Amino acid sequence: MEVEIRAAKPEDCKNLLLLIKELADYEGFGDRPKIDEKGKKSKMLIEDGFGDSPFYHSFVAELNDKEKAIVGFCLYFYTYSTWEGRAVYMEDLYVKKEFRKRGIGFKLWKTLAQEAVLKNCKRMDFAVLNWNQPSIHFYEKMGAMNQTKEEGWNLFRLGETALERLACEIKNDEEISKKLN
């Protein structure tokens, strides 16, 4: 079974959406993906990944057979470290269950590492659920540092409601000045 790793195209978004849902189910968060709300289906993925200013990029693992089935993906975006400069954040890496243990996930990850080096990124950040010990062990074996364990960093998130509430609290520049002083 030959697998090609390639950059995702807009027409892959329907399959990407299915894989994102599979990943969420695997992680125990099947109700979390919101990119499919309000009947938008893969439209949001297309707009956010293939517009004038993409918010994300993705590689897909495609079988080199008649069907050209997409069996895995790696979704990422560029970020910036004030300590080190350019960086990449790997949001998701997923391979369909029946295609695991064949090196496909490693090929996706390696392709992202190569892309990051080409873009002069100094590091790759990503999060792994604490129960996913096989992945944690794999990443550590490959040289990744567990920042929670080694440096005590905690990952925080400001969800949509809290984000909107914070944005509404600050109505103009004068209010911003007052809050900062």
Model-level pTM? 0.86
139 is catalytic: yes
Which amino acid belongs to residue 117? Answer: V
- The pLDDT tens digits for 128-177 are 999 999 899 989 999 999 999 999 988 888 888 988 888 887 665 556 66
**Within 10 A of 71 (CB to CB), how many other CB atoms are there?**
21
- Give the tokens for residue 152: 């005590």
Q: Which candidate, 1, 3, 142, 131, places its Cα nearest to that of 72?
A: 3
- The pLDDT tens digits for 10-26 are 999 999 999 999 998 88
Q: For the domain with range 3-153, which CATH number is right: 3.40.50.150, 3.40.47.10, 3.40.630.30, 3.90.245.10?
A: 3.40.630.30
Quick one: DSSP state of residue 76? E
Catalytic one of 56, 78, 89, 139: 139
Per-domain boundaries in the chain: 3-153
**Within 10 A of 47 (CB to CB), how many other CB atoms are there?**
15
Q: Determine the Cα–Cα distance for residues 1 and 102; give it in Å rounded to an integer.
A: 9
